Amino acid sequence: MNPRPMLSPDVLEDIDLNDRQLHADYDLSEVWRYLRAERPFYYQTARGSQPGFWVVTRHADCTAVYKDKTNFTAERGNVLPTLLAGGDSASRTMLALTDGDRHTQVRNLLMKAFSPKMLSNIGQSLRTTVDGLLRDAIEKGECDFARDVSGKVPLVAICDLLAVPQEDREYLLSLTAHALSADEADATAEDNWTAKNEILLYFADLAESRRSSGHNDVVSLLATSSIEGEPLSDGELMANCYGLMIGGDETGRHAITGGLRALIHHPDQWRMLRNGEADLQTATEEVLRWTVPSLHGARTATADVVVNGKQQIRAGEIVSVWFASANRDEEVFRDADRFDLNRTPNKHLTFAFGPHFCLGHYLARMEVEAILDGLRRMVDDIQQTGPEKLIYSSILQGISSFPALLKPDRRVPPQT
């Protein structure tokens, strides 16, 4: 329902790939295909006061940039909107925007929060949450899957991980939904900044209250740990809680809604899943490759470098890496434009690559798998019942509203 028109590569020189409206209004598949084939290192020139930047679209070149920590830095920003606006205020406080030894130290600390033990506790409550949300959606008849189901799953998981009090969760959801993208076309960059600042302030208070609380959660872990005898600074504490919240919430929501949409558009794959002919973990990887919630990431060159022996990049230049294109690279994925729940191997770049590889990948995979499993067990048929609404962002891609009807599987005994 309401597919976006395909944008022709002929207009490439006139469009701005950093324009949030562009990604909501058009399907860029043909543009990516053309760039991969003809101009794998395309330089988008300055648009007005906005500086130019490199656009990298092939899988092999994207990984080459992302693994090269000698010649590229994430510290000035890791997405185009902040880099092109002059840099990110969370530089060297948020993990994703920290490089070198400090990055390794803080990442090692945070890895404890993502240990199998911590996550297995969350796994139980995640499955219960997912089943409950699906049951409610089924009983409701028509639902807005994006809001009623996807909107709640990652938030519950991440709030459990951070032990955010129940009464604050709705408030945080309303903020995270506006920090990186917008549901409305007329939302401004200021709306994003306001939401981001309110989340930071919320976590500043929460972290302060956990400095001596004896809780066993990630905020307490960060608030009470030290590196080389020094506690994390207030800025690091706030920024990293924010990073987990943002990294973990909106991306996951879009993977889940996009997954449902893909199943509706590919009824043969839905039938396979329902009939138990698709391995859940393999299917999860394909949903992640297909939906690719992070459209792009970006780096700044710290030295003159020739990437993959092909393209000279000068020190100081901004390089954007398009996961949305790399995940459809014909050189890496057989029948790349086919949604195939049994696809193996599946070396997608949905969680990026290299030293900043997504810290929450395992949790995100658990969320998608729980949804696929719940749908497979509880739902007989899925239909889209109204037009979907896409988000406005050049950083993320996803759906903010998706009217759907989930018909119950009569084989499942009703809950008492």
Name the site residues for ligand HEM (rule: CB under 6 A). 74, 78, 95-96, 107, 158, 243-244, 247-248, 251-252, 255, 293-294, 297, 350-352, 356, 358-360, 363-364
CB of 114 to ligand HEM, least distance (A): 8
Handedness of CA 72, 73, 74, 78 (dihedral sign): negative
Question: How many Å apart are CA 50 and CA 305, to the nearest integer?
Answer: 23
Pairing of strands 41-44, 389-390: unpaired
Cβ-contact 255, 364 below 8 angstroms: yes
Residue 406 C-alpha from the chain's centroid: 25
Helices 116-140 and 153-162, axial angle in degrees (round to 10): 150
CB of 396 to ligand HEM, least distance (A): 8
Closer to ligand HEM at the Cβ: 133 or 158?
A: 158
Closer to ligand HEM at the Cβ: 86 or 100?
A: 100
- Mention every residue, 6+ apart, whose C-beta is less than 8 A from residue 37: none
- Mention every residue, 6+ apart, whose C-beta is less than 8 A from residue 281: 365, 369
What DSSP assignment string belongs to 273-313? HHTT-S-HHHHHHHHHHHH-SB-EEEEEESS-EEETTTEEE
Q: Which two tokens stand for residue 382?
A: 């899925």
Closer to ligand HEM at the Cβ: 23 or 356?
A: 356
CB of 106 to ligand HEM, least distance (A): 8
CB of 24 to ligand HEM, least distance (A): 18
Q: Which residue is nearest to ligand HEM (CB)?
A: 360
CB of 166 to ligand HEM, least distance (A): 18
Closer to ligand HEM at the Cβ: 232 or 364?
A: 364
CB of 149 to ligand HEM, least distance (A): 15
Closer to ligand HEM at the Cβ: 99 or 144?
A: 99
Closer to ligand HEM at the Cβ: 59 or 274?
A: 59
Nearest to 54 by CA among 295, 286, 297, 247: 297
CB of 385 to ligand HEM, least distance (A): 25
Closer to ligand HEM at the Cβ: 188 or 233?
A: 233
